[in-house]
């Protein structure tokens, strides 16, 4: 079984998206991680598609989101905080599926798999989510398959 952290919610004040981007970019830099910013026009409806290309797939079109994705490196999954025009956290793949007519729920989750990270990274991500819940996403919901969000039990997480 993989260990994944799922999270969803909406940014309390969409006008603070730039603050979120700056703060998380600073964190990524201090950790030696890469990051990716999105700054699409929220007034333009998304029309994104996934296009297969030699060497992988690429997103084509407009995602209609603003935010940042932290990229730890070492093959680890990125940790993204992209919000749509309604201020809801969304994943790139979810928006693409919506554009293709394959997704319609307003209760979408964003996820990051941590099973290939050390337990330290899992604990760090939970700490970051707790901080972001206080600063930007007061309605943030978290479903932590490792149980750390709910229990702070590192021994159980490592098991």
The DSSP string of 18-76 is HHHHHHHHHHHHHHT-EEEEEE--TTSPP--EEEEETTEEEEES----EEEEEE--TTP
pTM for the full predicted model: 0.89
More confident residue, 92 or 130: 130
pLDDT of residue 60: 87
More confident residue, 28 or 153: 28
Mean pLDDT, range 49-66, rounded to an integer: 86
Spatial distance between the Cα atoms of 76 and 91, rounded to a whole number of angstroms: 16
pLDDT, tens digit, 9 for 90 and up, residues 87-96: 999 998 888 8
* Number of helices and strands in the chain (H, E): 5, 9
Sequence-separated (6 or more) residues with CB below 8 Å from residue 26: none
Spatial distance between the Cα atoms of 67 and 35, rounded to a whole number of angstroms: 10
Q: Minimal CA–CA distance to 110: which of 155, 143, 64?
A: 143
Q: Minimal CA–CA distance to 67: which of 50, 90, 45, 48?
A: 90
Spatial distance between the Cα atoms of 78 and 73, rounded to a whole number of angstroms: 8
């Amino acid at each position: 079984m993989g260990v994944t952290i799922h999270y969803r919610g909406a940014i309390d004040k969409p006008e603070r998206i730039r603050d979120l981007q700056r703060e998380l970019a600073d964190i990524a830099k201090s950790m030696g991680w890469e990051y990716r910013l999105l700054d699409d026009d929220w007034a333009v409806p998304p029309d994104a598609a996934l296009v297969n290309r030699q060497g992988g797939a690429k997103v084509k079109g407009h995602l209609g989101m603003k935010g940042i994705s932290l990229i730890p490196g070492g093959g680890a999954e990125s940790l993204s905080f992209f919000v749509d025009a309604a201020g809801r956290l969304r994943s790139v793949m979810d928006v693409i599926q919506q554009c293709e007519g394959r997704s319609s729920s307003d209760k979408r989750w964003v996820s990051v798999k941590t099973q290939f990270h050390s337990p330290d990274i899992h604990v760090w991500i939970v700490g970051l989510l707790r901080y972001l819940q206080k600063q930007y996403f007061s309605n943030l919901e978290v479903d932590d398959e490792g149980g750390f969000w709910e229990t702070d039990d590192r021994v159980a997480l490592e098991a």
